[in-house]
């Protein structure tokens, strides 16, 4: 067989295996976060068999023919750290006027919001802030960001809740980070179901 015929056989083999694994390659390369980053994957015995057959026809050093991209965990950890930085940078914040200044706070750092007359107190560590706003209006604004109403005068950040204690009255006592406790009245106890994505053995907790 001449050199030209051998090259034709290799070209045909490349095209055949490229088509066979196109779907697998596309699923890896389609992600913009993992583009250019190698990933780890577990191969089946079939994958190893097909790859060994491909090596009989093609040069092993041709990376375009490999059905699975594999590389070290260091690059993956680097990407995860970058994603964490981006998430913090894009965390929702609240802006309000206090003492002649515009203050911006991360919503995740606000444990609760309490009504105080015509104002609301943002329970922020180390010092709370007073904002001229009604609790009902603020409750609607904060609802998409993981805040629930538990009392006619209290809203809590669900990510700050650490413990719930049922009371004989049908109400609940709720503890947030830092140890402060709030009463959950029966009117708003149905909102407790939003505190967790999964409840195990507690179906009647918010009934």
For residues 100 and 76, state if they share a domain: no
Rounded distance, CA 160 to CA 195, Å?
10
What pLDDT does 39 receive?
A: 43
**Residue in 201, 124, 167, 154 with CA at minimum distance from that of residue 191:** 154
For residues 122 and 138, state if they share a domain: yes
111 located within any domain: yes
Rounded distance, CA 206 to CA 204, Å?
6
Output 183 or 2, whichever has higher pLDDT: 183
**Residue in 70, 8, 4 with CA at minimum distance from that of residue 41:** 70
Contact between residue 120 and residue 85 where contact means Cβ atoms under 8 Å apart: no
For residues 146 and 133, state if they share a domain: yes
Rounded distance, CA 67 to CA 20, Å?
9
For residues 125 and 81, state if they share a domain: no
What pLDDT does 78 receive?
A: 80
Contact between residue 155 and residue 135 where contact means Cβ atoms under 8 Å apart: yes
Query: Which of the listed residues 54, 88, 122 is the one where a domain comes to its end?
Result: 88
Number of domains in the chain: 2
Query: Which of the listed residues 61, 88, 115 is the one where a domain comes to its end?
Result: 88
Rounded distance, CA 65 to CA 54, Å?
8
Rounded distance, CA 14 to CA 59, Å?
9
133 located within any domain: yes
40 located within any domain: yes
For residues 100 and 47, state if they share a domain: no
- What is the average pLDDT value for the chain, to the nearest integer? 74
Rounded distance, CA 205 to CA 199, Å?
9
| CATH code for position 182 | 2.40.50.1020
For residues 189 and 113, state if they share a domain: yes
For residues 29 and 99, state if they share a domain: no
What pLDDT does 205 receive?
A: 66
**Residue in 88, 14, 93, 86 with CA at minimum distance from that of residue 54:** 14
For residues 68 and 144, state if they share a domain: no
Q: By residue range, what is the domain housing residue 184?
A: 93-195
For residues 82 and 120, state if they share a domain: no
Long-range contacts of 162-171 (CB under 8 A, 24+ apart): 164/192, 164/195, 164/205, 166/205
- Report the pLDDT averaged over residues 137-143: 93
Report pLDDT digits (tens) over 167-200: 999 999 999 999 999 999 999 999 998 888 878 7
Question: For the residues of 156-168, what is the DSSP string, one character each?
Answer: EEGGGEEEEEE-T
For residues 169 and 122, state if they share a domain: yes
206 located within any domain: no
Residue 44, helix vs strand vs coil: coil
200 located within any domain: no
Query: Which of the listed residues 37, 68, 88 is the one where a domain comes to its end?
Result: 88
pTM over the 0.85 mark: no
In degrees and rounded to multiples of 5, residue 65 shows phi and psi of -95, -10
Three-state SS for 72-98 is CHHHHHHHHHHHHHHHHHCCCEEEEEE
Rounded distance, CA 128 to CA 110, Å?
9
202 located within any domain: no
For residues 68 and 118, state if they share a domain: no
For residues 52 and 145, state if they share a domain: no
pLDDT at position 63 over 90: no
């Amino acid at each position: 067989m001449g050199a030209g015929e051998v090259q034709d056989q290799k070209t045909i083999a490349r095209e055949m295996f490229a088509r066979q694994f196109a779907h697998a390659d596309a699923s890896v390369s389609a992600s913009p976060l993992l583009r250019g980053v190698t990933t780890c994957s577990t191969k089946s015995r079939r994958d190893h068999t097909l790859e060994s057959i491909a090596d009989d026809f093609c040069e092993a050093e041709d990376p375009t023919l490999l059905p699975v991209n594999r590389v070290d965990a260091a690059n993956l950890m680097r990407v995860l750290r970058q994603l964490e930085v981006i998430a913090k940078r894009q965390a929702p914040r609240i802006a309000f006027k206090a003492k002649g200044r515009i203050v911006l706070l991360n919503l995740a750092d606000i444990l609760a919001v309490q009504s105080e007359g015509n104002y609301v107190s943002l329970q922020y560590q180390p010092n709370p802030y007073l904002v001229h706003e009604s609790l009902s209006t603020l409750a609607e604004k904060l609802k998409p960001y993981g805040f629930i109403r538990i009392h006619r005068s209290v809203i809590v950040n669900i990510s700050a809740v650490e413990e719930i204690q049922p009371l004989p009255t049908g109400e609940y006592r709720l503890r947030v980070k830092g140890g402060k406790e709030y009463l959950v009245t029966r009117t708003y106890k149905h909102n407790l179901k939003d505190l967790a994505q999964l409840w195990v053995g507690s179906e009647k907790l918010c009934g």
